[in-house]
Amino acid sequence: MPPGIAVLLESAEAERRVAATPETVRKLIALGARVAVERGAGERAGIADGDYEQAGATVADRAGVLAGADIVLAVQAPEPAMLAGMAPGGWVVAAFDPVRRRETVAGYAAAGLEALAMDWMPRITRAQSMDILSSQSNLAGYKAVLEAASAYGRAFPMMMTAAGTIPAARAFVMGVGVAGLQAIATARRLGAQVSATDVRSATREQIQSLGAKPIFVEGVAGIEGEGTGGYAGETSEEYRRAQAELVAGHIAKQDIVITTALIPGRPAPRLVTDAQIASMRPGSVIVDLAVEAGGNVEGAVAGEVVRRHGVTIVGHRNMPSLLAADASALFARNLYNFLAAFWDKDAGRPVLDVEIGDAIRLTKDGQVVNPRLQS
């Protein structure tokens, strides 16, 4: 019998995305899978149950969808207790946030399920099309600038009118990964004067290529090139002091600040202090994209928009979910690309290789098996 793939209605608070679209349902069925979608799963992303049925999926309640399912696709991994009825040893393919959700991962092991963390996909060339963090970060960087523009009480571009000239907004992006690069590009398209900084010296050329001004500590070594997995790593105390001094002088002149810095498995680094916020002009806006990981900005509150010293600090959770239709389309393609890349026609199901399998597999045969969770 063809393997059964179940697509669930997301249970996490304020999660609007869905892990499969009619497009990817058709492609999964073409591979040889049976696809069942939980009723209402795509509603918040603008996808009706009938659209899934037209694509060839069965639409049912959760129990019906999970009955005998070999693979569950989700955006955020559900609690194991919600997956009763799956086939023993079945795969759950989703974002797990494994370090912060260790108890949930242990629950998957106890349930005898194989948890595959798409958010631990290695940053290698052949896995780029499967990389959910990159696809979702692109949208997060874009949306962060739009949220800043909405909260900012002035225009972004310079405007020359008969009544006088309005100066362009000054935007500063801190952290030049995927989200930061998209934030730079979006702010530039809206007409802002953009500057950016990162601890990785290799990002200087990327910043300049987008027409922004690089702001870097000179004379003190940061991180040469990329850190582990394409992320920045820890820096020296000397570098952090020099960077804080540089940023303090620069940030006081900015109207918009977007922070994006994350370190895998650790709290987000503190980039903006309360004193630096106080130095900014009233009416300025800060968007903290790392707020769910502890925040880059002192005083940022996850899930809230707060004001400190006359500055608006936007701390929306799950920024990609605010663009649910596009975010779902990209996420679903990432999951399809992953399954299709490993689909074994003889076995009639996906079979993982060692390089990617060992990187993303969290649990198997009742045990937590990923070395990153065993240290």
Q: Which residues are catalytic?
A: 123, 128, 131, 134, 231
Contact call for residues 279 and 288 (beta carbons, < 8 A): no
CA dihedral 314, 315, 319, 321 (to 10 degrees): -110
Burial class (CB in 10 A: 0-12, 13-18, 19+), 209: exposed
Q: Which residue in the block uniquely carries the two structure tokens 């679903």? A: 332
Contact call for residues 119 and 97 (beta carbons, < 8 A): yes
With residues binned 3-state (H G I as helix, E B as strand, rest as coil), the percentages for the chain, rounded to 5, are 40, 20, 40
Q: Which residues contact 125 (CB under 8 A, 6 or more apart)?
A: none
Contact call for residues 231 and 262 (beta carbons, < 8 A): yes
Eight-state DSSP code of residue 300: -
Which contiguous run of DSSP H or E holds residue 195? strand 193-197
Q: Which residue in the block uniquely carries the two structure tokens 């074994």? A: 344
Contact call for residues 254 and 170 (beta carbons, < 8 A): yes
In angstroms, the CA 352 to CA 349 distance is 10
Q: Tokens standing for 372?
A: 């990153």
Q: Tokens standing for 43?
A: 């509603």
In angstroms, the CA 170 to CA 185 distance is 14
Q: Which residues contact 230 (CB under 8 A, 6 or more apart)?
A: 123, 177
Strand, coil or helix: 217: coil
Half-sphere exposure of 43 (CA within 13 A, CB side): 10
The angle at the Cα of 32, spanning 28 to 37, to the nearest 5 degrees, equals: 45
